[in-house]
Structure 1
Amino acid sequence: DDVICRLPSQEQCCKVLLLDVDLIQACWRKMERNDYRPVFVFIDGIFGGGVSNHVRVHLRKKYPAYCFLDLSCGPVSSVADRAVECFYELYGGRVDYSCGLDGETLENGHDRFGRLEAGLLGPSNWSETTPIHIFAYSLGAPTARYLQYLLAKQAFIDEMGRPIRTSASWIASICTCQAVNNGTDAVYAAGLSRRTLEPVAMSPMWWIFNAIYLLVWLNLPLLNRRLGMRLEHWQARREHGVGLWRLLTWRPGVKNNAARDLCPIRMADINARIAQELPCAETRYVACGSCCTSPLVPSLHRALGPLGPLAEPRWLARNSTHYSMRHRPRLRVALGVADAVGG
């Protein structure tokens, strides 16, 4: 049955994750798998938004015998790029973005290869017999599902060019919070054109893109570590001989980014692709969501982090009082095997 809760958002999230871990714990005990240490992976959403740090600390304290991993996939990258980064961060090896193309081609300026990852788990600790459990927030939900889709297709290759034998059963469960599996119209309100699926000039999204271009072009190590943009696979830096004016007029990445994939049209295409392989009968899917829990503009600030002020139009700031705390959050949790779209 569905469960309805009325709790502060982070407490909601914590209770849902605790419920999920308890169910998984009971399952492993029933299977008498005392030789395996369950691994739980956090996948954040756009701009790095996700489960708060104190919730993660609480989970680690409550379940010290379990392994909790934080993945750092690109906060503004496309769903396919994020899924590929998640795989290699767990498995190890040179990130190969061509693995997530599925018949498409890399956009001009997009390198095929990215970072060399050591592998948080490695080949010996991640397989059908030692699967992982995923906690995904917002854009992390389609990222997790696309990762499972690529695993089912055995799309990944190692550094020698040999295919890696994978399957959808490498993921035992996916728990999503505030998932955007069907996309959101919010990207249109932020300035994404419905016709071209590119930022409209002078819109909040257009300014955010320009700020990201500047950060990538400058390539300052301190800023890169602080923001964690993970955009070094784009040939848009000063070291590549690209001038700032050329970068702003060229505008690479307009067809390969999180905002474009978040629109309902693109997400429908992604869902149709995923439906060819998923859902997996051996994976448990949990989905939960809630309504607005705080004023809109402060929430936007928190979601965008250092780039928050760029997305605050004055008219929105003046009228943000309409979104008050009296709208109590309602959390809806669906347990069981969901369809390919998920929650």
Structure 2
Amino acid sequence: MVRPHPERRPRSARLLAGLAVGAVLLAGCGAPDAPTPRFSGDFTEFPLSAGAQLIAPPEEPPPATETSACAAHASLRPGTPSLGGTLGDIRARGTVVVAVDQNTNLFSFRDPTTGALTGFGVDLAREVARDLLGDPTKVEFRPLGTDDGAEMLAHRDADMVVRPAALPCEAPQGLAFSTVYLEASRRLVVRHGSGISEPADLARRRVCTHHDPASVSALSRIAPKATILAVPDWDDCLMALQQRQVDAIAGAAVLAGLVAQDPNLEIVGPETDSAEYAIGVAPGNDDLVRFVNGTLERLRTDGTWTVLYDRWLSSLGPAPGPPVPQYQD
């Protein structure tokens, strides 16, 4: 009896099966997979922002003083606008060119919805344009870096500088100033429940402030035992506090914009000495200085200053009234 031959698979099927087995063998003999990279650290320590500087407290802190020794800042008295000079150049151009910091919330920042520059300082610049050119929108804003803007003024890249940096006791070279348009008490921003309520609580803690001389000097004076983190941008202070790299932020008018960005923060501390803010102009442009001071005088007397304060800085407290101008002539 002849047994039937078992059914054979087609040659093509047998060939495909062989190729599959070969592929598996080749894969097994190939180069091994790259090892999973190893990471060191647990990512609990964030790097400090670019340009940040840590300033250790002195071994023997100087005697504490309650107020700043700065003399009142005086400027030129408002005068009759000239037809030529800097004012004539601006009128011929048709716009006022103003250098501003563009990321300080509530002072000069871009509205996240419209992208337009807005804030207390921006509104001041627009009021100058209103008086000089008859239209508050005729302002060309140019970004200001981390310096004081003196180089931009020297190269005629801007007519004015409006920045949220307090005036130092000694006016920096390369800048002339308007009368003081804002005076605010230096206080602290901390996290809710931090246990910090006054400068005395900052001993052996790390505190952030702007790297401008006036801010660093004031913090060294009111908290001589604190370690200072000096940064080129106030938003760097906000990030450092949120990442728990510092225990507090020390400042003045800019604190309103910081707490507005984070509901977990609050302004605390008694009012220490005051920070003063003025508009910067290139030296020698006396006609522009006098004109700007005329606009600031109008804002003080017609109520516009209080309107702007209530719009942008009310979290600092009720409007204290505009600072009384000091004139040198």
Higher relative contact order (CA 8 A, sep 6+): 2
TM-score, structure 1 as length reference = 0.22
The normalised TM-score by structure 2 is 0.22
Query: Larger radius of gyration, structure 1 or 2?
Result: 2
The answer to which structure has the higher helix fraction is 1
